[in-house]
Chain A
Amino acid sequence: MDFLQQFCQQTLNGLSLGSIYALLALGYTMVYGIVKLINFAHGDILMVGAFVSYFVLKQWGITPVTLMLSFLPAMLFCLTMGVLIEKICYKPLRNQPRINALITAIGVSFLLENGARVLPFIGPNPRVYPTLPVVNYKFFGINISQVQILVFVVAIGLMLLLNYIINFTKIGKAMQAVSFDKGAAALMGINVDRIISFTFVLGSSLGAAAGILFASAYPQIEPYMGIMPGMKAFIAAVFGGIGSIPGAVLGGFILGVAETLTKGFLSSQLADAIAFGLLILILVVKPSGLLGKPMGEKV
C-alpha cells in the first residue's frame, strides 16, 4: 500500500511537471510543423517569461490575483520577443540550408541566456521567485499542493484554448494548411508570413506561461533555467511526434511522469538522463513519434 501510495504521489507530481513540459512542447511542435525548424531558443522564452513575471510580482506583491495577472505582461512580452526573433533571425534564412537556421537558433538561444546574464538587473545569480504560502490538500493519502492545482488548471485551460484556436478559427485552419503545404497555402491566398508570426505568437505565449508555472513550482530562477526544461520539452515533442499537437501534450505528460518516477524510485541523478534515454528509444523504435505521421521528402 505504501508503494502504491508513493507511486500515485509521484505520478501526480509527474503529471503536474508534465503539463509544464507539454505547454513548452506545444511551442516546439507548432514551430516545427510550420517552418521545420527546431527553435532552440524556445526554452529560453520560458526563462524570459519567468523573469518578467518575477519583476511584475515584485512590484505588485504576491497574491493569487497578482500571480494570475502577471501572466498577461509575461505573455505579451514573450510573444513580442518571439515574433521579433522570427522576423530578424529566422526569416532571412528561410530559403537557405536548414542547418543554417538551426545554427542561428542556437545563437539566439545563447544570446538570450548570456544576455540575461550580463543585464545588470538580472545577473548570473539565482533569485528566489515569489510564491504563495504552501497549502497542501490530502486525498487518500496523496498530497496535492495549491501550486500543482494552479499548474493543472492553467495548463489545461491554455491547451483547450489552443485547441479551439487551431481547430475552430479561420487563422487556426490557415495554420494547418501552411503546415501541410506552404506553397499550396500561399496559392490559396493565405499570407504565410502572417501565419508564421502567429505561430510564434502562440508558441511564445505558451512558453511564457510555462515559465511562470515552472518558477512557481521550482521557485528559483536564473538565466540558464530554460535549457533543461527546453530540452525535455523538445524531447517530449519528438516523443509524441513532432508536428503533432496532441502528440506534444501526450509526450509532455509522459516525460514528466517518467522523470518524477525516476526521481522517486531510482535516483535523482538519473532524472535528466532518462529523458535522453526516452529520446533514443523513440528514435530507434518509432522515429515519427507516438502520434506522428512518417514524413517523406517530396521527390
Chain B
Amino acid sequence: MTVLKTENLSIQFGGLMAVANLNLEIKKGELVGLIGPNGAGKTTVFNMLTGVYKPSEGRILVQDRNEQNQDIGQLHPYQITALGMARTFQNIRLFKNLTVLDNVRIGNHLNVKYKSVEGIFRLPGYYREEKRIEEECRELLKIFDIEHKGDELAKNLPYGEQRKLEIVRALATKPHILLLDEPAAGMNPQETLELMDLIKYIRERFALTIILIEHDMKLVMGICQRIVVLDYGRMIACGTPAEIAHNPLVVKAYLGKELENDA
C-alpha cells in the first residue's frame, strides 16, 4: 500500500530548478533513505512534503489517518502534520528556552482534547487530559533514555540528545509517516549505532513509515531498505543499498565526492 506519492514534483527558486520532476512512491512501513551531495535538494524535498515550501509543479499525495489519499499541495504545515506526517529539522529547531517535557508536550498538541476555556478555568477536563499528556510524553522520553532530563531546558542538552529530542517531539504528534532530516549529524560513531537501533525500534513499535536524509553512509546502508539518490534536484537512482552502492551514476555523482561531503 502506498502511503506517500509525489508526481512530477518540482520547485524553482528564482531561475534555479532546485528539485525537478521527482516521482517517489513510498510503501507503508518502508524505511527509505534520501541521499545525495550537498545542495542536491534533499531538505527542499522535505520542505515541500511538509508544506513549508509550495511546489512550483507536481502533486503530493499522502495517506491520512483514515487511509484516504489526500493532495497536500495547498495545505499548511500544521494540517499536514495533522494528517499523520511529522518531521525533524536538519538545523535543530527545538523550543530552546522551554523544558524538554514542554517540547514534547507541544508535539502532543494535536491530541489535546480539552478547550482553552477549560484550561483557563481549570475545569476537570484540564486535569484529566494534562495528566494523560504528561504520562504519554514521559513514556516517549523514556524510549530515548532522556526521561530524567524532562525538566531541563532544551538548550542545555548535549547535541546528540537534542537530536533525539527532535525525534521524540515529532513522535509525540503520533505520525504514521516520519521524516528525519540528518538525525545522526554531529553524533559520534557510538551514538550513531544507538540511534540506528532506536530508529528500527520506533519503526516497529509505532508502525512507522520512515524517510531519512543522512550523510552517514554506514547508517543509511545499514538500516534503509531502499535508497533514493538525488543530484542537482533530480533522482539519479533508486534501489536497495547493494544496488545503489554499485550504481556507476551514484558512484560518480556522490560516492566519488564523498570526502568533501563528509562535513
Contact = CB atoms under 8 A, between A and B. Distances in A.
Interface in A251-299: 296, 299
Nearest to A296: B53
A299 B43 CA distance: 8
Contacts of B95: none
Nearest to B93: A299
Interface residues of A, number: 2
Contacts of A299: 43, 47, 52, 89
B185 to A, nearest CB: 15
A296 B12 CA distance: 13
Nearest to A298: B91
A176 to B, nearest CB: 14
Nearest to B89: A299
A296 B53 CA distance: 8
A181 to B, nearest CB: 13
The majority secondary structure among interface residues of chain A is loop
B16 to A, nearest CB: 14
Contacts of B47: 299
Interface string B163-202: 0000000000000000000000000000000000000000
The majority secondary structure among interface residues of chain B is loop
Nearest to B14: A293
Contacts of A296: 52-53
Contacts of B52: 296, 299
A145 to B, nearest CB: 45
Nearest to B91: A299
A260 B217 CA distance: 66
A299 B47 CA distance: 8
Contacts of B89: 299
Nearest to B47: A299
B232 to A, nearest CB: 19
A299 B89 CA distance: 8
B117 to A, nearest CB: 28
A62 B53 CA distance: 58
Nearest to B54: A296
B45 to A, nearest CB: 12
Contacts of B43: 299
Nearest to A297: B52
A147 B53 CA distance: 50
A296 B54 CA distance: 11
Interface in B232-261: none
B234 to A, nearest CB: 21
Interface in B38-56: 43, 47, 52-53
Nearest to B77: A299
A204 to B, nearest CB: 32
A81 B53 CA distance: 41
Interface in A203-235: none
A187 to B, nearest CB: 15
A296 B47 CA distance: 12
A299 B53 CA distance: 9
A271 B15 CA distance: 42
A296 B13 CA distance: 11
B135 to A, nearest CB: 32
A42 to B, nearest CB: 30
B149 to A, nearest CB: 25
B182 to A, nearest CB: 13
Interface of B: 43, 47, 52-53, 89
Interface of A: 296, 299
6 contacts: A296-B52, A296-B53, A299-B43, A299-B47, A299-B52, A299-B89
6 interchain residue pairs of minimum CB distance: A299-B52, A299-B47, A299-B89, A296-B53, A299-B43, A296-B52
